[in-house]
Amino acid sequence: MEVFEILGYIGALLIGVVLGLIGGGGSILTVPVLVYLMYINPVTATAYSLFVVGISSLIGAFKNIQKGLVDLKTAIVFSIPAFIAVYATRKYLVPAIPEHLFNIGDLAVTKNIGIMVFFAIIMLMASISMIRGRSENGDDDETEVQYNFPFIILEGVVVGVLTGIVGAGGGFLIIPALVIFAKLPMKRAVATSLLIIAIKSLIGFLGDVQNQSIDWTFLLSFTALSVIGIFLGIWLSNFINEKHLKKSFGWFVLLMGIYILYKELFG
């Protein structure tokens, strides 16, 4: 086993640890780990990421359902347009993207480069969200859930397409949408977002099963390490300040996003 492959499996464990510690964000590491450490094609890596993110989020969602924190009606309303969009994106849109997109001077921008650059931009957006932090006001307020259906449906479609292209969970988009458009308290929004992420990621992966050959031995072993990492992260969360950790992780994601942009465009 090569050094980078060993680091890749350590990365799988780290993805789970981050998810267990802060309830999100770990999925943003999945594609870079698969592409740069495991040498997996970006299109395949985004497919694998959907499975890893989906299974990991599902475990977190079950934990939150047991605590009574998940708003199932809101999850269903948001998930329907999201999973339709992510499934269609993986089955039809991603395979339809041409291998050669365009040229920037002497640089030929291919499909793989385009996906990684787009992913890096999403990483930068997510990092800013984590660094700035979210307001915790109203966490415990049991306000009546109100549905702004047009915006929820639109947000679901946008997040679904985004997830389909880059293979990340999109929690940094889902959580604000649930707070603003469904009037959910923050804790319930975070818990509900995990169920939404699980549903749309796993359904999106079904679109890939029909288009790609899946290395199930590798994928299941990688996912198993992430799941172990989740339980480790949940245990560590008893000793680590979540707010400071999230901000530090945000800076790490920012640097990773800049690195990917540099590597893909100038490396």
pLDDT in tens, 26-71: 667 898 999 999 999 998 998 899 899 889 888 888 888 888 888 9
The pLDDT value given to residue 138: 45
The pLDDT value given to residue 137: 46
Residue 234 has pLDDT above 90, yes or no: no
Q: Does residue 71 contact residue 184 with C-beta atoms inside 8 Å?
A: yes
* Alpha carbon separation from 74 to 127, 178, 180 (Å, rounded): 26, 8, 12
Query: Phi and psi for 238 in degrees, rounded to 5?
Result: -75, -15
Q: What is the mean pLDDT of residues 203-224?
A: 89
The pLDDT value given to residue 219: 95
Region label for 185, one of left (φ > 0), alpha (ψ between -120 and 50) or beta (otherwise): beta
How far is 105 from 96, CA to CA, in rounded Å? 25
Choice among 45-59, 86-100, 104-118, 177-191 with the minimum mean pLDDT:
177-191
The pLDDT value given to residue 169: 67
